[in-house]
């Protein structure tokens, strides 16, 4: 994957979050060389102030990573897909817009996906996601969907987009983004 030196989220219309998803993807690829750094990429499994998990506990090395690649029969194309012998992880990135109907249907797709390993659906968004007039209550609903399908091997969580971007920039030794 190549991100041009003059890359800017404005080059990714109409979905500016694709720039950030791509940057995090490059960071994840770099983390294959230093897997201990996956422990620094935090996950919130519950709606609370402090994270209670990290990527190091859910994804094994080696893993495959696909960016903006659809899955057969999946109603939505996730921004990132990671897969290892430990888990299948789909990540949906959001800047401001609400979670779309087809993205909600990914929960049921995962519940029906034939695999014994955990299936994880992560929302990567700004910390205030779900508190704006555009998407009120969507973050609690995202957590609830994962809880309702946990008996079928599905888990949901939240990744702070600014933290993930800073983690990737640090790992890639890039200057911070403005």
Token pair, residue 4, equals 């041009």
- At residue 10, the pLDDT reads 57
Number of domains in the chain: 1
Range of the domain at 25: 15-171
- At residue 91, the pLDDT reads 97
Please write the tens of the pLDDT for every residue from 78-125: 999 999 999 999 999 998 788 999 999 999 999 998 888 999 999 999
Q: Is the pLDDT of residue 142 over 90?
A: yes
Please write the tens of the pLDDT for every residue from 2-53: 445 555 555 555 667 888 999 999 999 999 999 999 999 999 999 888 999 9
- Confirm whether 89 is domain-assigned: yes
Specify the CATH number for the domain of residue 85.
3.40.1350
- Confirm whether 4 is domain-assigned: no
> Residues 119, 113: contact at Cβ < 8 Å?
yes
Three-state secondary structure readout of the chain: CCCCCCCCHHHCCCCCHHHHHHHHHHHHHHHCCCHHHHHHCEEECCCCCCCCEEHHHCCCCCCEEEECCCCCCCCCCCCEEEECCCCEEEEEEECCCCCCHHHHCHHHHHHHCCCCCCEEEEEEECCCCCCCCCCCCHHHHHHHHHHHCHHHCEEEEEEEHHHHHHHHHHHCCCCCCC
- At residue 134, the pLDDT reads 66
Provide the percentage of residues in the chain whose pLDDT is more than 70: 88
- Confirm whether 1 is domain-assigned: no
Question: What's this model's pTM, rounded to 2 decimal places?
Answer: 0.89
Nearest Cα neighbor of 165 from 18, 13, 58 is 18
Average pLDDT, the chain: 88
Mean pLDDT, range 153-176, rounded to an integer:
91
- Confirm whether 101 is domain-assigned: yes
Q: Is the pLDDT of residue 76 over 60?
A: yes
- Confirm whether 67 is domain-assigned: yes
Q: Is the pLDDT of residue 176 over 60?
A: no
- Confirm whether 10 is domain-assigned: no
- At residue 47, the pLDDT reads 87
- Confirm whether 176 is domain-assigned: no
- At residue 83, the pLDDT reads 94
């Amino acid at each position: 994957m190549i991100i041009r030196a003059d890359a800017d989220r404005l080059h990714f219309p109409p979905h500016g979050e694709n720039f950030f998803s791509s940057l995090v993807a490059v960071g994840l690829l770099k983390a294959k060389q230093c897997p201990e750094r996956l422990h620094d990429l935090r996950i919130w499994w519950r709606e609370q102030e402090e994270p209670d998990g990290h990527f190091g506990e859910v994804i094994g090395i080696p893993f495959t990573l696909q960016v903006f690649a659809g899955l057969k029969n999946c109603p939505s194309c996730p921004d990132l897909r990671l897969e290892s012998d430990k888990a299948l992880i789909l990540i949906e990135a959001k800047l401001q817009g609400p979670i779309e109907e087809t993205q909600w249907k990914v929960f049921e797709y995962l519940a029906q996906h034939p695999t014994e390993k955990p299936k994880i659906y992560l929302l990567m968004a700004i910390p205030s996601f779900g508190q704006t007039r555009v998407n009120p209550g969507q973050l609690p609903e995202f957590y609830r969907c994962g809880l309702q399908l946990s008996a079928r091997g599905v888990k949901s969580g939240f990744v702070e987009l600014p933290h993930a971007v800073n983690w990737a920039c640090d790992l890639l030794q890039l200057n911070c983004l403005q």
